[in-house]
Structure 1
Amino acid sequence: MQNNLHEALAKAANRYPIELVVEQVNDIPRIFYHVGLALKGIEPKPPGELEICDLGGGVGLFSIGCAALGFRRTVLVDDFNDFINSNVGGGQSILDLHRDSGVEVVSRDVIAKGISDLEGYFDIITSFDSMEHWHNSPKQLFAEVVAKLKPGGVFILGVPNSVNLRKRISVPLGKGNWSSMEHWYEQPQFRGHVREPVVEDLIYISNDMKLHDVEIFGRNWLGYYSRNPAVRALTKLMDYPLRLRPSLCSDLYMIGKKPN
């Protein structure tokens, strides 16, 4: 599985518009982890039996990776109104890349319209690095997520941590803003982070959804992707120790199951 997935992701990344190829190639380790997380959550079912729906995945590689592994069905739901679609060459062609890979693309505001009308039910529903951008409460959407999961199905939610170790150091120094002034003030519509959660928020959500076997994981992708070489070097040193304390990690994951 590992070699096939890496090869498929690398091949897909190199088909993106030229200005995005390096970014997508660099993102392969994170996407590989996300796909593995989905498979681990629903094991021992093989990919060929799985139906998955990704919420807010944009034009990233995750849904392509699932389809490339031979998932029975892969659905991607997003409004595709981010900067990349309108200002980077080939926003629509990227979606064609997804469709050519076997991904069902559904264009909609997932908070406003939900997913209750999507055909069928899913073994896995995911949302990575999207919830923090939503301007309205996801409570109703998450109720629909539970309804659209098959019995024993898995929900995976990935978010940035608002109180990770770096922020606990930088905020007292006056460097804690989520978004730049230009992204908030100069754009007609703000698409940045509205509210970054903490571990307790994820537990609250899982309780509200009545999920079972809930687990919280931490990773530190933001540190690895930092433009600061010192931060990247420090992340390599601290990554594994920090995983023992997810509340200190830069990236949080909540996994829970719908009761059988």
Structure 2
Amino acid sequence: MLKFNKKEVELFFYNEILSSFSKEAQPGLIRTFDKNIYEIEIIIKILNNAGKTENPTIIDFGCGLGINLMILSKYFNCKCIGLDRYDEFDEIHAREVGTTNQVVSRLQQFGVEVIPSNPITYKFENEIADVVTSFDVIEHFNFPPNEYLANMINAVRTGGHIMVGTPNQAHIFNRIKLLFGRNVWEDFDYWMNYNPFYGHVRELLTWELKKVIESMGLKHYTIHQSSYPLYSRLKMKFPRPIANVFYNIGKVIFLLFPNLNYYNLIAARKK
């Protein structure tokens, strides 16, 4: 069985992974680490429940920096493959996290196999993965995700799982923004001035994400919902004890009204 210990995974992230990035990039990575650890814990549970604990194979479509893959590869001894076109890390963008070569090199140092190709069209020849993931990708599409999801399904073994995570358009933060007349989409200046535009095009509601998965013939799935940004933001603004109090209040609200959560993650089994 793969043992998931949150504190140990956090230590690995802070001691091993964070130090491989520039100081300028580290605050942003820390802010989103609650999301990484949330996703990794679900992956480990799926692998344990399926009995896939000896060097399981994981493919991440649109892996980007690949924080999840680095942890799963080096800490949990999984065979990890990252698939991404990597144009977002072109030198022209001067990203704090590094250029394409630096991002790919970092992943390889952590034992991740990198395929620099377009995940929308790339096709694996065989069903090789126990779990195929895609986090924060489909909301960027200006076209249907069918071909992309079909490629994910074709890469996973029978009995394996695909996992798709994407923001919930109707989350509580968006609802509050609308009350105050704020736009819930991308920053206006970013949309106006950045070309190419890499922002969100179509976020989904919970029932829409379910419908997308069902349209691909996947009927056996579970929905996981989280509001990980809440705790990250609270920790930035308040001492940890106060942040914990507010966070626990938030957890009660999200338990009563799950569709107010920020993030939807669906895990579907291929039969």
TM superposition score category, shorter chain reference:
0.7 to 0.9
- In 1, Cα distance between the equivalents of 2:263 and 2:31? 17
Q: Cα distance, 1:7 vs. partner?
A: 3.2
1:242 is aligned to 254
- Mapping of 1:49-128 within 5 angstroms? 49-82=55-88, 86-89=93-96, 90-91=98-99, 92-111=101-120, 113-114=121-122, 116-117=123-124, 121-128=128-135
Q: 1:88 to 1:143 in 2, by over 3 A?
A: closer
Percent identical across equivalent pairs? 20
Question: Secondary structure of the equivalent of 1:49?
Answer: coil
RMSD, matched Cα: 2.5
Q: 1:49 to 1:60 in 2, by over 3 A?
A: closer
Unaligned runs of 5+ in 1: none
Give the aligned residue type for 2:54.
G
Question: Secondary structure of the equivalent of 2:144?
Answer: coil
Is residue 189 of structure 1 aligned with residue 196 of structure 2?
A: yes
- Mapping of 1:163-182 within 5 angstroms? 163-182=170-189
- In 2, Cα distance between the equivalents of 1:239 and 1:9? 25
Q: 1:19 to 1:247 in 2, by over 3 A?
A: same
Q: 1:72 to 1:66 in 2, by over 3 A?
A: closer
Is residue 6 of structure 1 aligned with residue 10 of structure 2?
A: yes
Q: How many residues align?
A: 256
Q: Cα distance, 1:235 vs. partner?
A: 4.5
- Whether the aligned pair in 2 keeps the contact of 1:80 and 1:107 (CA below 8 Å) is yes
Q: 1:244 to 1:13 in 2, by over 3 A?
A: farther
Q: Cα distance, 1:34 vs. partner?
A: 1.0
1:23 is aligned to 28
Q: Cα distance, 1:107 vs. partner?
A: 1.6
Q: Cα distance, 1:84 vs. partner?
A: 8.2
2:48 is aligned to 43
- In 1, Cα distance between the equivalents of 2:256 and 2:217? 25
Give the aligned residue type for 1:256.
A
Unaligned runs of 5+ in 2: none
Question: Secondary structure of the equivalent of 2:64?
Answer: coil
Is residue 253 of structure 1 aligned with residue 265 of structure 2?
A: yes
Give the aligned residue type for 2:251.
D
Give the aligned residue type for 1:108.
S
- In 1, Cα distance between the equivalents of 2:216 and 2:8? 34
